[in-house]
Amino acid sequence: MKSMTKLMLVAMVLVAALVVAPAAAGRVISDNGDNVFVGEENLNFAGDFAGTTRLVHYSSAVGEAIDKSFTVNSAGNITEITAGIPTGSYYAIGSAAPDTTYVNIQEPEVALDVVLNTSQKDSVNGKSVTRDTLLDFKLSNNIDIPGATMNIEVTLPGGGVVTTFGGQTLKPISVDGTTEYIGAVDLSGAAAGTYTAKAKWPSSADFYGKGYDSNAATFEVLTKSLAIVSNKDSVVRGNSFTVTITGESKETYRLFIKPDTTLSDVEYPAIVAGQNGVTAGTSDPSRNASVQTNAGGTRSVQFNTNTSTKDQQYTIRVESFTDPSGTYDEVKVKVEQGDVTVTASGTGVYYIGEEVTLSGTCTDNATTVHLFMTGPNLDSNGVNLETITAVTNNDTASFSTADVLADDTWSFKWNTGDITKSLDAGGYTIYAVSKPLDKSSLSDAKYATTSIQLRSGFITATTSGAVVAKGDDLTLTGTAQGDPDSVHVWIFGKNKQLLTESATVEDDGSFEYELKNTDTFSAGQYFVVIQHPMMNKVFDVYSGATGWINGTPASGFSPVEIGRLQASDAATALITALDSPNIDDTYVKLTFVVEEANIFIDAIGDKAAGSTFTITGTTNLAVGDALNVEVTSAAFQPTTKSEASGFGSVAGVVTVQQGDGVNTWSYEVDGSNFKPDQYIVTVESIDTDTTATATFNVVEAVPTTQATPTATVTGEVTPTATATTAATPTQAPGFGALIALAGLGAVAFLVLRRD
């Protein structure tokens, strides 16, 4: 009995010992520089790490600031390397060499790929393969934990998950910091659809459920061994389309357009040369090629079309070189005609020399629109817009051309002043064509037309006045149609020649020339010629050396020394030159008269004291000129300190107004402070240094006589009131009266002496 009791006691002690014993340690880390991974549990530090109490990570140099640490218990264990910590070297505090003993903490990394068994550098992740393709699963990792394993799980198209696939067992797979290839995976029995593979940690591993599984790798298994599809069922001629071949990985196939005996070589869509994996065939290389698929068993091939491509449906075939009748596929693509449009800027009416913008769209040719023109006495099949020479079928250089942009638009700026041959005014038709074809062959191309009217340039002008006062400005204004940059102004007068002054022409065709120095002009008539360069925008007659007029070489004009001619003859020589049939310049003639500046004051007459009245006059000064007007009293007499001044005056500025045949001016005088006297009016133009004066008298106002109103009473006689007119008081003579009296005294004195 005692023996039994002792046995039971020993058993209880053993159980108690098991209960209080610490958990068993995991992986032992004993060598300096060992790798440790985030997420590992129950690590035991021994060997080089004996005595370690903490693992610390320094934010900078060793021994300085610590930004992360782990406590190592008395048994040398760490429960877990937690996520979110800085990775790198962690130094063992408490060890024999705390500043040199460390572990390297890393994030566990696992990458999964699906590659060709026959070419393991070629990935098919995200690609399609056929059942004849052998695959490998490629598992790469940085984990060097002895005995660590992972499982590759494959999700089937139907949703099931397996770890055995294609004849390969995918669990457990050793992970030891190297790359493992698991294959060859046989797809011959695989269902069509998409497969997803992922490497996962088993539940017994430290990394289970912590987010350190691999990436997902996908691949699609196709039902057909060879297929071809096009990105477009139909394409507008001038654009491209692309076919995609799907077959065996790294396999070479024949690609071609099925022949049509009615077509020439240039009428087929063409395989673009130089594409990766595409080798032109020995016969019909533009539509026959050898195509090698990539690792995913696919290859895309681009075909181009142009205006020579026949608009019809084409069959494109891909086939096996070894079994062309059994392994093949076809796709149909229809090529359609595009369209062309053209419009001309503005109203469609232009002056020769102006720039015309032609624009539109072209979907029948991705690169070029061909332009030509027809019109009176031009080649009936069309001429180049810039050279007016006949265009030639299939010769792009003979046409005017415009580039088609990526958005199918085009634009062409046609400067009618740069045409190398003369073009008369009239109606013309502009053709925009997708091919270099003239009017006789337009049935084989897409085209559009627009009509324009060309008119000859012309010039009109006028002066700001037929008569200008000497010293006033004279303005010449007008319109020069035909888009010249400027016009030239020639002025002739007696002993006066101003040659080729220039006036800028604005965008709307208007111009203005201001003659500011008429104070140097003698009174008399002057002759003006304003010259327009016309279509070529070149002044074919121009001022040469001093006193000469020259002509451009093309004009055949011989220089003339007009400086030695009288002004009238010089003007005639210029007009004769401009009238030459070899010169396209046109002109307009004007005249103006320079007069000595004058100002006239109309008769004023006597004005009543205190009244308001207007002084008027005429002048040959220009409309808008300013005149200073001053009205002052002629009185001059002594006054006492208590008296107001005997002088009265007003002054102001008025503007010359347009009159009927002669310009006018007027000034309103406020005479409320004027006393009876003689007054002097002075009107002056500062610009022309011209003055006019006049006098008038201000007299005492005469009061108006009014009868006393009477009331009428029936039966009574109403006496009539008599109004009395007050006598006009005698005024002291003013300065003018004193002069008159002095004159009379002098006469009397002379008479007395003679007697």
Contact 551, 557 (CB under 8 A): yes
CA distances from 418 to 33, 352, 397, 422, 426 (A): 83, 10, 18, 10, 17
Q: For the ranges 402-416, 515-529, 692-706, which has the lowest average pLDDT?
A: 692-706
pLDDT band at 706 (very low <50, low <70, confident <90, very high): low
In one-letter notation, the amino acid at residue 82 is T
Mean pLDDT over all residues of the chain?
86
Residue located via tokens 């040199």: 100
Tell me which fold the domain 343-455 belongs to.
Immunoglobulin-like (2.60.40)
Average pLDDT estimate for 140-146: 94
Hey, what CATH class is 599-638+645-699 in? Answer: mainly beta
Predicted pLDDT of residue 646? 53
Q: Using CA atoms, how far apart are residues 51 and 70, in angstroms rounded to an integer?
A: 14
For CATH 2.60.40.1930, the residue range(s) in the chain are 110-222, 343-455, 458-595
pLDDT band at 257 (very low <50, low <70, confident <90, very high): very high
Query: What single string gives the DSSP state of each residue in 145-188?
Result: -TT-EEEEEEE-TTS-EESEETTEE-SSEE-SSSEEEEEEEE-T
pLDDT band at 359 (very low <50, low <70, confident <90, very high): very high
Q: Using CA atoms, how far apart are residues 692 and 579, in angstroms rounded to an integer?
A: 47
For CATH 2.60.40.10, the residue range(s) in the chain are 227-336, 599-638+645-699
Q: Using CA atoms, how far apart are residues 120 and 250, in angstroms rounded to an integer?
A: 12
pLDDT tens digits, one per residue of 182-210: 989 999 999 999 999 999 999 999 999 99
Hey, what CATH class is 458-595 in? Answer: mainly beta
Structure tokens at 216: 């997902």
Predicted pLDDT of residue 427? 94
Q: Using CA atoms, how far apart are residues 353 and 332, in angstroms rounded to an integer?
A: 52
Side-chain half-sphere CA neighbours of 160 within 13 A: 6
3-state secondary structure 36-70: EECCCEEEEECHHHCCCCEEEEECCCCCCCEEEEE
pLDDT at 725 over 80: no
Q: Using CA atoms, how far apart are residues 711 and 664, in angstroms rounded to an integer?
A: 54
Alpha carbon 188 to chain centroid distance? 60
Predicted pLDDT of residue 4? 47
Torsion of CA 613, 617, 623, 624, to 10 degrees: -40
Q: Using CA atoms, how far apart are residues 619 and 629, in angstroms rounded to an integer?
A: 14
Q: Using CA atoms, how far apart are residues 522 and 516, in angstroms rounded to an integer?
A: 14
- Distance from the first to the final alpha carbon of the chain: 203
Structure tokens at 93: 């505090």
Q: Using CA atoms, how far apart are residues 603 and 299, in angstroms rounded to an integer?
A: 107
Contact 253, 226 (CB under 8 A): yes
Q: Using CA atoms, how far apart are residues 648 and 660, in angstroms rounded to an integer?
A: 34
CA distances from 56 to 26, 48, 349 (A): 21, 16, 88
Residue located via tokens 């002048």: 619
* Residue 722 burial by Cβ neighbours in a 10 Å radius (0-12, 13-18, 19+): exposed
- CATH node for 110-222: 2.60.40.1930
Nearest to 250 by CA among 116, 355, 140: 116
pLDDT tens digits, one per residue of 685-694: 877 888 999 9
Hey, what CATH class is 227-336 in? Answer: mainly beta
Note the residue count of the chain: 755
pTM of the model: 0.51
Residue 411, phi then psi, degrees to nearest 5: -150, 145
pLDDT tens digits, one per residue of 440-497: 999 888 999 999 999 988 899 999 888 888 888 889 999 999 889 999 999 999 888 8
